[in-house]
Amino acid sequence: MYIDSHCHINFPKLAAKMPELLAKMEENKVTHALCVSVDLPDFPSVLALAEQYPHIYASVGTHPDYEDTPEPTVEQLVQLADNPKIVAIGETGLDYYRLEGDLEWQRERFRTHIRASRITRKPLIIHTRAASADTIRLMQEEGAGTDAGGVGGVMHCFTESLEVAEAAIAMGFYISFSGIVTFKSAKDLQAVARAVPLERMLIETDSPYLAPVPFRGRMNEPGYVRHVAEYISTLKDIPLEQVARQTTDNFFNLFNIVR
Q: In what order do the strands lie in the sheet with 201-203?
A: 2-7, 30-35, 56-60, 86-95, 124-129, 153-155, 174-177, 201-203
Q: Which is nearer to Zn ion, 109 or 127 (CB)?
A: 127
Of 34, 82, 40, 41, nearest to 59 by C-alpha is 34
By beta-carbon proximity to Zn ion, the closer residue of 129 and 216 is 129
Kindly state the smallest distance separating residue 129's Cβ from Zn ion, in Å: 8
Span near Zn ion by CB under 5 A; candidates 76-84, 103-111, 206-214, 230-238: 206-214
- Minimum CB separation of residue 7 from Zn ion in Å reads 8
By three-state DSSP, how is residue 86 classified?
strand
- Smallest gap from Cβ 42 to Zn ion, in A, equals 11
Identify which of 182, 205, 198 has the alpha carbon closest to the alpha carbon of residue 241.
Answer: 198
For residue 127, state whether it binds Zn ion (rule: CB under 5 A). yes
Q: Which is nearer to Zn ion, 127 or 227 (CB)?
A: 127
C-beta nearest to Zn ion: residue: 127
The candidate with the shortest Cα–Cα distance to 34, out of 19, 55, 51, 63, is 55
The residues facing 32 across adjacent strands are 3
**Smaller CB separation from Zn ion, 148 or 186:** 186
Strands 174-177 and 153-155: parallel
Stretch that binds Zn ion, among 12-20, 114-122, 127-135, 158-166 (CB under 5 A): 127-135
Residues that bind Zn ion (CB under 5 A): 127, 206
